Chains A and B, each alone.
Chain A
Amino acid sequence: MSSDPGGIPPILDVRDVHKVYRTGTHALRGVSMRVRPGTVHGLIGANGAGKSTLIKILSGAQTVSDGEIAWRGSVTEWTSPSQALADGLAAVYQHMPLVPSLSVLDNVFLGHTGSLRWDRARRTRELAELCDRVGYPLDGDDLVGDLSIGARQMVAILQALARGPALVLLDEPTAALSPSEREILFASVRRLRDTGTTFIYVSHFLDEVLDLTDHLTVLRDGLVVLDAPTASTDEAALITAIVGSRLAAFEAEAPVAARSLGEVVLAVEDLASGTAFGPLSFDVRAGEVVGVAGLLGSGRTELLQALYGADRAATGSVTVNGRGRPRGPQQAVRRGMALVPEDRARQGFLADWEIWRNISLPDLPRLSWRRMFPHAAREREQARQAVDDLGIKTQTIDSKVGDLSGGNAQKVVFAKWLYGNASIFLLDEPTAGVDVGAKSDILHLIRRLAARGAAVLIVTSEFEELIGSCDRILVLRRGALVADLASAETDVHEVTAIASGFGSHGDHPLGRKAAVS
């Protein structure tokens, strides 16, 4: 275990913490961690590793079963986040509790109880100072609801900083950010660290963690498996620490080998929708995995919506399995399309429904007697099959999908489409908010689908995954297709450069296309 020299006492000292839930789950089995002041301390681990539990304990939302936590040298007895906040530990969660109908100024100083009077001039001044410290300009009068997701994230961070905390806990702050917004966030964190604020940084993105943090703690199965200065480790070591061998093997695998592809099943010609994107043209063949690399705001989600018939304003022609553009999701499903949406909880599943009822939803008539009377035994059989096929971790198919972890819930959303007649899969950020183990499972699943003859279109900003799983990569920038790359011949740097408007391809948008096709 690490013992930093220098003798600076840790600001937060987690000593042999155990957590046993009343259900019997032993989430933490003796975790120790020392956070030095003025550092960025990375905390990583797969879902179920105990990371969320540790975060909840640190922020005061839960109490320890055994062990203790020392804050500035004395043992804490926080039983609520407000006590932690009062002592100087502020947490910024992935889902930001902001009020969209209030202004930035109101949100940043929400819940301040310093004085009864709302001194607007003083608050505006304080906000300006904060923005200055962070290096991110925000207009206090803007409504939070009108801001981009990245700007909202910054408001949430400002809200935390406005309390003048000594330590800020950032939980997956970049999950919804574009690379440029990410850079701004990182610059702010570094700047604040240099002025003495301490950070605990929780993220799935290992490159970020390596880039940003000074020290790393990796959890697996409730234990600390790696605790070292960031400089002494690298991505390979981290991946091994988090999952062991599985994902490491996947990363090492060569990109999909050239296969014989079927005929064109999805032909897009001059598809356009308002200012969002287009006109675009491309083809996807049976058995082919095509990736659309696009950053936030590039029109990637809108493109999928238009293909799926959910955007009635779109113009242009789409041929799906030899038939015309679907006029609505219902028709799209009938023509063999399947959409795995970006926002699972809102668009992908019913949180209150059991696994089996969620999985049978899209092709309930097929599982029903006379297409009208659902046959529960058949539905349950199919759900059991899905749990086996996809390795969904659950005790029973009667569990509610809302109670599953992100990765398992995403597998349920996939499973909805696996047993019907879907032959064209549209995947919108299929691995967002999914832990590394499940991510690897899902990427394997995509390959299996292609091997089975399905056409797969993946839209994502996770370029590394695209290269690992796609045959071709289309780069979408500001609504236009600027490159068509064979994934065997490209790399993350090239895709990132083209997608974000840098690099040699920026000047010749379609320069690569001829070379590839």
Chain B
Amino acid sequence: MTNPAAKAPAWRKALAPRAAGVVYAFIALLAVLTITSSAQGRPSYLSSVNLSNILEQSALIGILAIFMTVVLISGNFDLSVASTAALAGTVALKLIDGNGTFVAVLAAIACGALVGLVNALLVQKVGVNAFIVTLGTLTAVRGVVQAILDGKSITAHNTALLDFSTGRWELPVAVALVIGVALIALAVVLAVRSGAVREKLVAAWPLWLAGLLVLAIAGFRPNLLDQAVPVWIMIGLALVASLVLRFTVIGRNLYAVGGNAEAARLSGINVDRYKMGAFVLNGVLAAVVGVLYAGRFNSVDPTVLTGGELTVIAAAVLGGTSLFGGSGVVVKSVIGTLILFTLSNGFNVLNIGSNYQNVVQGTVLVAAASLYTATSQRDRALFRKRVARKAPAEPAPVLTKTGA
């Protein structure tokens, strides 16, 4: 059978709502908020200060979303990230005054790795459902945090973490210009080398769009190049994770393991190693986030980051990550995070009651998931039926009568 989707040119697929929807949504959201706020005579929504605010608020959840996406791609699920981060933050602040920064951070990260490993062993080796296991660790690890803190919040005197996570770092304008030009040049070189220039150029839109964005920022909002350290960490991790997933054997195998674990196993891929690795990595990065979060105020309390895991999963789903494994793009999950935080930021800026904030966020999430499902290849039942009913008139066959 011929498959119409296979015949569509690559660029069409790359720009389809399913592939790039989250980008369109983000741009549309920014446009709506910009127009609304200027109509109300407020300062520009796209000001450097406001954009920096959104980025800074998103950074930690964004980092979690990157590695949640990795776990989801591997075909698993992790609810324990926020508790793990809280534990790591608590451990770091408990130890930093007595044992120094290095030991504190190391112990915090070890805690994260340990929680990840427990999740991994229970899910992959014992075979308990990932949802149940991580629901358990979510609760138990939060319990450990409460036990350590005993209902009180703690503050550290050593300000090393505070200095680090609230520090800022500025990318020189010249470097930004070079990066922007390099990205665009790379897109052009790739397109020219492949032959089909126009098609390739459209298909490589993330490259040159990112390049244009960097140039625009360097040109018009140079203040945006000065960002808090967590924002740069998020950008760096997103880049590294994207490159590993897209261009290495590890990335390819991870998608294979999540897409069809049995086929991957019989092809000689060590399925357990990949799935467990994703859990441990997620635990480690949750710990890093916990340390950064604790550093932000140099204090933690027992309820720190409660419910954060749901925001993280919502961000990944907004970014089009499949909960069944085998598909997902980390950059889109980061954009999903930005959408969530832009929404709440927009509510504040426009001074709309925060009561409706959750209603809107929940609606956006469900709407996005519905859209992805309805337009996906496998689950297109709804749209397909509609189309079939509306268009029963297929092209009249060219009748070549045969036989009597």
Contact = CB atoms under 8 A, between A and B. Distances in A.
B249 interface: yes
B42 interface: no
A16 B256 CA distance: 46
28 contacts: A1-B403, A19-B397, A20-B395, A22-B4, A23-B3, A24-B2, A30-B401, A65-B396, A223-B402, A308-B266, A328-B270, A329-B266, A330-B270, A341-B266, A346-B262, A347-B260, A350-B263, A352-B327, A353-B256, A353-B259, A361-B269, A364-B252, A365-B249, A371-B249, A395-B6, A399-B6, A400-B5, A416-B267
A18 interface: yes
A511 B307 CA distance: 71
A347 B403 contact: no
Interface size class, chain B: 35 or more
Interface in B230-259: 247-250, 252-253, 256, 259
A405 B2 CA distance: 10
B268 A332 contact: yes
A355 to B, nearest CB: 10
A258 interface: no
B6 A396 contact: yes
Nearest to B262: A347
Interface centre among B249, B250, B397 (most CB of A within 10 A): B397
Interface string B294-331: 00000000000000000000000000000000110000
B249 A349 contact: no
A210 B215 CA distance: 73
A310 interface: yes
Contact of A350 (B5, B260, B397): B260
B400 A29 contact: yes
A349 B249 CA distance: 17
Interface residues of A, number: 56
B1 interface: yes
B174 interface: no
Nearest to A340: B266
Interface in A319-372: 328-330, 332-334, 339, 341, 346-353, 357, 361-362, 364-365, 368, 371-372
Interface string A19-36: 111111110011010000
B399 A18 contact: yes
Contacts of B260: 346-347, 349-351
A403 B266 contact: no
B127 interface: no
Interface string B386-397: 000000101111
Nearest to A305: B266
B339 to A, nearest CB: 26
A398 B394 CA distance: 27
B157 interface: no
A10 B107 CA distance: 81
Interface in B105-149: none
Contacts of A26: 397-398
Given A29-B402, A349-B263, A361-B256, A330 B249 contact: no
A25 B6 contact: no
A65 B394 contact: yes
A86 B137 CA distance: 52
A380 B399 CA distance: 39
B259 A373 contact: no
B244 to A, nearest CB: 10
Given A330-B269, A372-B249, A416-B267, A352 B377 contact: yes
A456 B370 CA distance: 48
A374 interface: yes
Instruction: Describe B's contact surface by its main secondary structure.
Output: loop
A224 interface: yes
A344 to B, nearest CB: 9
A66 B398 CA distance: 10
A63 interface: yes
A328 B395 CA distance: 53
A34 B399 CA distance: 21
B248 A373 contact: yes
B268 A18 contact: no
A30 B397 CA distance: 11
Contacts of A349: 260, 263
B265 interface: yes
A23 B268 contact: no
Contacts of B396: 20, 65-66
A372 B266 contact: no
B73 to A, nearest CB: 13
Given A16-B401, A352-B377, 20 more contacts: A1-B403, A18-B397, A19-B397, A25-B1, A29-B402, A30-B403, A328-B270, A329-B265, A329-B267, A332-B268, A347-B262, A349-B260, A350-B260, A352-B378, A361-B252, A364-B252, A365-B249, A372-B248, A372-B249, A403-B6
Contact of A347 (B263, B268, B378): B263
B1 A361 contact: no
Given A361-B256, A373-B248, A65 B2 contact: no
A339 B266 CA distance: 7
A373 B253 CA distance: 12
Nearest to B247: A373
Contacts of A371: 249
Contacts of B399: 18, 30, 66
B397 A66 contact: yes
B16 interface: no
A25 B7 CA distance: 14
A403 B247 contact: no
Identify the 8 closest CB pairs spanning chains A and B, nearest first. Answer: A333-B268, A20-B397, A403-B3, A362-B267, A350-B259, A399-B6, A347-B262, A18-B397
Contacts of B267: 329, 333, 361-362, 416
A330 B394 contact: no
Contacts of B270: 328, 330
B26 to A, nearest CB: 26
B202 interface: no
Contacts of A364: 249, 252-253
B395 A400 contact: no
Interface string A368-412: 100111100000000000000000000110111001010000000
B404 interface: yes
B264 interface: yes
A399 B268 contact: no
A374 B402 contact: no
B268 A357 contact: no
Interface string B261-296: 011111111100000000000000000000000000
B196 to A, nearest CB: 14
B395 A22 contact: yes
A21 B248 CA distance: 40
Given A347-B262, A350-B259, A65 B248 contact: no
A440 B366 CA distance: 50
B97 to A, nearest CB: 43
B402 A30 contact: yes
Interface in B1-41: 1-7
B266 A347 contact: yes
A21 B263 contact: no
Contacts of A330: 268-270
Nearest to B378: A352
Contacts of A66: 396-397, 399
A11 to B, nearest CB: 22
A399 B252 contact: no
Interface string A189-228: 0000000000000000000000000000000000110000
Contacts of A362: 267-268
Contacts of A1: 403-404
A395 B2 contact: yes
B266 A357 contact: no
Given A350-B259, A403-B1, A361 B249 contact: no
Contacts of B398: 26
B377 to A, nearest CB: 7
B6 A398 contact: yes
Contacts of B249: 364-365, 368, 371-374
Given A224-B403, A341-B266, A21 B394 contact: yes
